[in-house]
Structure 1
Amino acid sequence: MAETGAKRIRLGMVGGGTGAFIGYVHRVASRIDGDYDLVAGALSSRPEVAKESGRNIGLAEDRIYSSYEEMARAEAARPDGIEAVSIVTPNHMHFGPAKAFLEAGIHVICDKPLTATLEDARALAAIKPKNGAKFLLTHNYTGYPLIRQARQLVESGALGTIRVIQAEYPQDWLTEPAADDNKQASWRTDPARSGAGGAIGDIGTHAYNLLRFVTGLKTEAVSADLTSFVPGRQLDDNVHIMLRFQGGARGMLWASQVAVGCENGLQLRVYGDKGGLEWRQDNPNYMWFTEFGRPKQLLTRGGAISGNAASTMNVRVPAGHPEGYLEAFATLYSQFAEVIRGNGAPYDGLLPTLADGVEGMEFITASVKSSQSDGKWTKLSEV
């Protein structure tokens, strides 16, 4: 982190203007460990909103842009231009900015899912970035220390051969039709801006990425039932998916935005022939680990049993002091800063990549296709 004396990275942002939830989250995450200075932005496609938003967060007038194309050209030409950019737009506006900045030799930090379509995801992955520009996909839940601990437990064989995986991510905020002035809901329920998936693309991909990150198992096929319960809604708001993994393991994934009483219920359960583990995002500093025939163990973030490098490298405060969502997000930003500085070896395999983004789009595409075929088993390799 920059507080060790490392030079701060000049950061820009596309999207995330005044009132945008995820843009604010990215700005906070980039500041927590002192690794970045936000110096430029194309914060809205509307020039007047872009100007106002840039002024509100203290950007210099000549670093406030009305389009990402203008920003990429101008910043690449400046001797003090940005070194990295955060893309925090709706899904359909991920591909264009990511392509422009990678081709300009500027590192890209992009919110998930990677793009609105699988075709765009594969086209983005085929780009040859200028000057070796790097890419980070912000599946931020992989930044939790105990999720890193869970991954290590699986890798160590502590759970034995994985048999069953259950991931779920229920919310209730879209239980009723979205109001026209609800910016967060309007684009997520619009196929033109969100892509083919609703809840599956917004939160289902998080649950899917989490189970893949922890277990390392490759998905073979999915059988999906995607439903739109709210009348008139064009995209799914509830998702039930069964998964088959290479090697024989089986999984279930549930994502919903109409589960009344659920605020943000991301959780993961993994069971092998020797043990199992259970973790919830709403209480992320604790995880249950059980060896077959023995009492459950409560593992704590930074506690006595979490002594592996991956789970402790970004523990910021002593055990018993809670860390949460923003810190997990900040972990990805901090570790990507080290990748940019050329010190990324300790984080190999821990940071979500373009390839993870493409697989996420394959998962969405296969699930939509399966659901349209009444749950027919659909291979990810065939979409």
Structure 2
Amino acid sequence: MNDEFRSLFPLTSDVVYLDSAATSLTPTSVLEEMNDYYNKYCANIDRGVHHLSKLASHRYGDTHKKIGELIGCSGKEVVLTKNTTEAINQVAFGLDWSKNDHVITTVMEHHSNFVPWLRLREKGVKVDVIGIKNGQIDLNELKNKITSETRLIAICHASNVLGTINPVIEIGKICRENDILYLVDGAQSTPHLPIDVQKIGCDFYSFSGHKMLGPTGIGALYCKQKHQEKLKPLMVGGGNVSNVTKTGYTLKKGYHRLEAGTPNIAGAIGLTKAIQILNEIGLKNIRKHEEKLNKTLIDELRNLDGLNILNPDIDRTGVISFTIKGKDPHKIALQLDQKNIIVRSGNHCSQPLVEHYNYDKVIRTSHYIYNTQKEIKTLCKELKKLI
């Protein structure tokens, strides 16, 4: 990416930012769009007849539409949430579960697509966790775990530790053949890959704005319209009720019933701008850019003594994790931080996956559209010194 584009991200002039899987940098144009809301038409949505509320409501509603266009669905099937975690919890605790219902998830999940399903065991739901082979979901084990009681399969589109891109379309076919609900965690894929929920064949798809150039505090859940009336809202109150009496209430129809309270209006408007930027660049172009950076980084890391890359040869997003023999990942991350190189160390909210590789923590780099070949080589140069 050229210097003009990088100038939209002021932090890139100060640091080598390689922690985009945790949160991406936010362009100044996104912040300006959010400031315009606060400075020019600040009002609550769907709460008044005045022109400020109407404009804010229109802009908020436009976010549903733009997200739908991005992932291949109707804006009416988009529920705005706080983040991916809230979106997945809305499904996990919005569905009616019966004792002995069965859920299948995987060892490579982020805790946000893992813990909500484990918690269902309190309701008597059976939860199976399938393993991985060579950094990828073991499809044979997945098929073998399916029973007549299997109600839902929940998997990540891409791993936040390995970068693995899972065969979500193939898994979608398996779910349809067995009449199983299908939830995909798209937090690590939506910023990096073209998404079409119709091709994937999922019932639910979730992601967060802050990993795709947007602000924090805004995310989305794709929910097929036929499921919207079946989900119980996580919260009730202002915004998602159409009628209230002393003895009861009536919920609104569609996605409105799942969006209680005053939402993150500015965040939604900022996310719309972020989506516009991604569309202008093109997700296919983002993918090509990351693949080039991946090749450079993996080639360089392979030449460093004692450095072990987790599954270097998989099809991946811009996420690469590794360990260095005899070196503590946290210490390495702190030493890189002193050189203004930002990476993450730890279990990355994927403790079962990291432990699968017999580690308690690893070092993770995650690049994005604002990173350059020069920055990748700077990282490798500093790692070589540390080793």
Q: TM-score range by the shorter chain?
A: under 0.3
Q: Structure with the greater relative contact order (CA < 8 A, sep ≥ 6): 1 or 2?
A: 2
> Normalized per residue, which structure has more helix?
2
Larger radius of gyration: 2
Length-normalised TM-score, structure 1: 0.23
Length-normalised TM-score, structure 2: 0.23
